[in-house]
Structure 1
Amino acid sequence: MIAIFSDTHSNRGHELEGEALAAARNADVVLHAGDFTSEAALEAFRGECDRLYAVHGNADDPAVCDRLPTARVVEAAGIRIAVTHRRDGGETGLAMFGRSRGANVVIFGHSHRPTVIDADDVTLLNPGSHADPRGNRPGFAVLEQAENDGHESAESTGGGSLEGAIREPDGTLIETLEIRRR
């Protein structure tokens, strides 16, 4: 399972609770699309999950920016996942960012709005903010290998699809999605 977060905006800690906290603790991989804000929040996330792949955002302290890249790519179930906080050019800029990295999906943050956008050959996924939704529904996302893939591990190099959902921290469903290798 892959748990996906963004826009924590905390000076105290991870601000995770309920199903969001359970997802971070139980995930094989945790992705974070930036704006922890503080090293305390970054370290709190690291303390809750085994494998954290994160990028920094525009509101992160310089100490966080020094420790994290602005972008990264990870793979799961044969799906390439590009992670960034934001890109100039909105949806088009995000899609171009993903295509330039051969990604099937781009994980991004910044707007605090849980969003799934099909941009033809790349899916754009914003999990929202679990802790600081700013007028939007609070959110985080979970992706799992599709059951029909027949592969044993989400970290396998084969496969070709992930399915998942964006949820509120209490587990309330916001939206489902499926990502296929194209």
Structure 2
Amino acid sequence: MTETIGMAPDITLADIDLLLDEVRASAARVGAGLGSLTDVQAREPSALPGWSRGHVLTHLARSADVYRWLLTLARTGTEPGPRADAAALNRALREGAERPADELTARDFPVARIRVTDLDRAWTLAPAGATVTGPGHSVLAWFAGRGTGPRLRSDVPLPTPPGWPLPPAPGWA
């Protein structure tokens, strides 16, 4: 018998494992491409009309806020607060795209391994640095700079995640 997930009987654990493998491979490709990004390269045009590479990286980073909002809505059934309007999102994208390459790529973020206990998953991010362990929502909130990580464990004091272009949206805890 194939084990399925909750109310989505057509999604199996094997499907999720495959999807997570694809996400990890994609993240590794992005990370490999960012390893040598310079400030000049970050300002160069991307394949998206009107967007620099810095815009694309900011867009990727800011998507964590959206996923946190959606996951909270899915978990609680209640919107966790107002969503940013188009003007605020555009401002965050502009301001974020202007950051130096080392901030855009967070090269100096010293985390070697992440272990997400409730998903029974672990990811190696770098050859050296802290190992951070805890529930997925706590890891995500901490990485997104929206949580202090009280439910996380680390073999060294938790490093401070890179700053985001804007503070949390009004109404977010």
Whether these two folds match at TM > 0.5 is no
The TM-score normalised by the length of structure 2 is 0.28
* Structure number with larger C-alpha Rg: 2
Q: Which structure has greater strand proportion?
A: 1
